Chains A and B, each alone.
Chain A
Amino acid sequence: MRGEQGAAGARVLQFTNCRILRGGKLLREDLWVRGGRILDPEKLFFEERRVADERRDCGGRILAPGFIDVQINGGFGVDFSQATENVCSGVALVARRILSHGVTSFCPTLVTSPPEVYHKVVPQIPVKSGGPHGAGVLGLHLEGPFISREKRGAHPEAHLRSFEANAFQDLLATYGPLDNVRIVTLAPELGRSHEVIRELTARGICVSLGHSVADLRAAEDAVWSGATFITHLFNAMLPFHHRDPGIVGLLTSDRLPAGRCIFYGMIADGTHTNPAALRIAHRAHPQGLVLVTDAIPALGLGNGRHTLGQQEVEVDGLTAYVAGTKTLSGSIAPMDVCVRHFLQATGCSVESALEAASLHPAQLLGLEKSKGTLDFGADADFVVLDDSLHVQATYISGELVWQAEAARQ
């Protein structure tokens, strides 16, 4: 448990010979950890008059906050949207396997499904701290069913719904209790969406706009009602048009509430977004970019046919399609691949690429005091990376939870 068992007495760990991401820069500093949290060594020296109990040499590598994936539909054969008999073990398997991708926290995502599936699955995936068993669950991301028919993408048409009749009550009836829910993706052009958005926001649930044909005005209004995220920018929304930029226009809108930063998910797998489009978005609004995998159950499985939601998908290399069509079905690029691709495609700094996968998703979820940073007091969830941003080791609460083969003794 973090910081609870008399942290003052707990072992002090000092990670040396490394560069840490702090304050948007890679600094040549040591990282100190105690009781599962990042420790202020100056305070330790002058107030407690203590030194480290153990030093670990990081071989000159980069230490970055652990990656946070806020959109992942499953992986390694597990489909979060399937109401199986062993939902928990499925989530646990994915949680453990994504450690090797540098992901230390995630939001299991459910695509459009019938109410029975939500009622069965949602209560079985509670928020959970990460550890050697796997990445932490921050809450569920429910993508659909309150989305646009025209922009449903791979979501099954039969299960799309509206909340025109009873607004929030319809949503509750569909999903069941929302205790475990962190993010809801919906289309704001649906009738009474503003009531729903306000209600969700009031409950601390992040509302994301996606799978929508909303124009810029409707999108801005949705942001005023409380929406803070855009689900996989460019995909499943109207294309940017110079007289109506649509949801994409939120990135540079001057009609948003003062001081509010709109975040947007980007799948930087080399397939879902053309690098030029990635660059346009990044240059327009770098602070809001959140890397997501939108990974499907086929992540980590290889070529062939697999299940996603209520549909079948076909995997071919690094691309997955709705079986028998050319519609993209979701990505199978792991988060660290996305980070590297994003870095290479945009030519941004290493710091920016790392923040897009850690700090920004933490800020989106209002967790930046404890996640997504290596500031003093934050949870000691971090990744050890080589200069080409390949994951060498993953730590949660200051404990080594995964290590690359080459790094093992």
Chain B
Amino acid sequence: MRLVILDNYDLASEWAAKYICNRIIQFKPGQDRYFTLGLPTGSTPLGCYKKLIEYHKNGHLSFKYVKTFNMDEYVGLPRNHPESYHSYMWNNFFKHIDIDPNNAHILDGNAADLQAECDAFEKKIKEAGGIDLFVGGIGPDGHIAFNEPGSSLVSRTRLKTLAMDTILANAKYFDGDLTKVPTMALTVGVGTVMDAREVMILITGAHKAFALYKAIEEGVNHMWTVSAFQQHPRTIFVCDEDATLELRVKTVKYFKGLMHVHNKLVDPLFSMKDGN
């Protein structure tokens, strides 16, 4: 893996956004060649989305030939509920960029047949040629998407019941009222994300530090599902200082020492204005 450590949340968000920007532009997407991006929700990626929007508004990055697949969506929450992941993606990303609505895929948590909806989602990913870069986050319980502790590490898109840790973590979005938090969600599986050609996990904040430790310094374990990516050929973990608080000094020093190498991935920052 690459462990990219930035000083703070803003710098981590910017590094991640620059990386995504460069990957898309270097791919040279076009009419018959879409770049497929897996996308997360939550508070961690907000800074990254803001920067991507900035690059788009300044004319450096277009999402015209980008297809997106979100990781998850709550079950039973109306699509236009302010806390649905559809609302999140619209307000924090889609409404600010030029993506074709037909290319923005999010699981429908109100589908009549939930498993069929999940199967159809897997099929869409396959038809799009697989995911080029899956961007994700990590839960305090070490989950990727809603693959809660105990999820199979080869799982596919399916219905999951949320763990108490997750419900507690999400309560802040529902007026702190636990009874209002959805208890089930549709989510891509660990296996689904592992199929991506490249994976980037954003981890910021001290409250995620223990999960990061479990995910990269301990073994592959279905209780900390992000640990599965130890077996992925191309994974990048982008963190801020606070997220590394539970790691060994040796680990942190080693990867900080590699920042000059990591930074070559984002500097120079490409732009579509340069005739790319």
A-side residues, CB < 8 A to B, are 30, 40-46, 48-51
Decide if A49 touches B80 in the complex (CB within 8 Å).
no
Give B87's nearest chain A residue, CB to CB: A42
Q: In residues 157-184 of chain B, which contact A (Cβ within 8 Å)?
A: none
Could you name 28 residue pairs across A and B whose Cβ atoms are closer than 8 Å?
A30-B95, A40-B80, A41-B90, A41-B95, A42-B80, A42-B86, A42-B87, A42-B90, A42-B91, A42-B95, A43-B80, A44-B101, A45-B90, A45-B94, A45-B95, A45-B101, A45-B104, A46-B79, A46-B86, A46-B90, A46-B101, A46-B106, A48-B101, A49-B101, A49-B102, A50-B101, A51-B100, A51-B101
Q: In residues 52-94 of chain B, which contact A (Cβ within 8 Å)?
A: 79-80, 86-87, 90-91, 94
List A contacts of B87 (CB < 8 A).
42
List A contacts of B95 (CB < 8 A).
30, 41-42, 45
Question: A13 to nearest B CB, angstroms?
Answer: 15
CA distance A323 to B229 in the complex (A): 88
Give A32's nearest chain B residue, CB to CB: B95
List A contacts of B104 (CB < 8 A).
45
Give A42's nearest chain B residue, CB to CB: B90
CA distance A48 to B91 in the complex (A): 17
Question: A54 to nearest B CB, angstroms?
Answer: 15
List A contacts of B80 (CB < 8 A).
40, 42-43
Question: B88 to nearest A CB, angstroms?
Answer: 11
Number of B residues whose C-beta is below 8 Å from A? 13
CA distance A46 to B91 in the complex (A): 12
- Looking at A43, A45, A46, A49, the one whose CB has the most chain B CB atoms below 10 A away is A46
The secondary structure that dominates the B interface is: helix
CA distance A40 to B101 in the complex (A): 14
The A/B interface has a contact count, at CB < 8 Å, of 28
List B contacts of A40 (CB < 8 A).
80
Q: In residues 93-112 of chain B, which contact A (Cβ within 8 Å)?
A: 94-95, 100-102, 104, 106
The 8 closest A-B pairs by CB, nearest first: A49-B101, A42-B90, A45-B101, A49-B102, A46-B86, A45-B94, A45-B90, A46-B79
Question: B182 to nearest A CB, angstroms?
Answer: 18
Question: A333 to nearest B CB, angstroms?
Answer: 39
CA distance A349 to B102 in the complex (A): 41
CA distance A346 to B95 in the complex (A): 37
List B contacts of A41 (CB < 8 A).
90, 95
CA distance A51 to B87 in the complex (A): 16
Give B95's nearest chain A residue, CB to CB: A41
Give B91's nearest chain A residue, CB to CB: A42
Give B101's nearest chain A residue, CB to CB: A49
List B contacts of A43 (CB < 8 A).
80
Give A41's nearest chain B residue, CB to CB: B95
Give A51's nearest chain B residue, CB to CB: B101
Question: B94 to nearest A CB, angstroms?
Answer: 6
List A contacts of B94 (CB < 8 A).
45
CA distance A48 to B79 in the complex (A): 14
CA distance A105 to B206 in the complex (A): 56
CA distance A49 to B100 in the complex (A): 8
List A contacts of B90 (CB < 8 A).
41-42, 45-46
Known A45-B101, A49-B101; further 16 A-B contacts with Cβ < 8 A: A40-B80, A41-B90, A41-B95, A42-B87, A42-B90, A42-B91, A45-B90, A45-B94, A45-B104, A46-B79, A46-B90, A46-B101, A46-B106, A48-B101, A51-B100, A51-B101
Question: A31 to nearest B CB, angstroms?
Answer: 12
Question: B170 to nearest A CB, angstroms?
Answer: 21
List B contacts of A42 (CB < 8 A).
80, 86-87, 90-91, 95
- Looking at A40, A41, A45, A49, the one whose CB has the most chain B CB atoms below 10 A away is A45
Question: B109 to nearest A CB, angstroms?
Answer: 12
Q: In residues 170-202 of chain B, which contact A (Cβ within 8 Å)?
A: none
Give A47's nearest chain B residue, CB to CB: B79
CA distance A337 to B86 in the complex (A): 43
Question: A196 to nearest B CB, angstroms?
Answer: 45
CA distance A46 to B86 in the complex (A): 8
Give B98's nearest chain A residue, CB to CB: A51
CA distance A30 to B96 in the complex (A): 10
Give B86's nearest chain A residue, CB to CB: A46
List A contacts of B86 (CB < 8 A).
42, 46
Question: A47 to nearest B CB, angstroms?
Answer: 8
CA distance A346 to B252 in the complex (A): 59
- Looking at A30, A40, A48, A51, the one whose CB has the most chain B CB atoms below 10 A away is A51
Give B94's nearest chain A residue, CB to CB: A45
List A contacts of B79 (CB < 8 A).
46
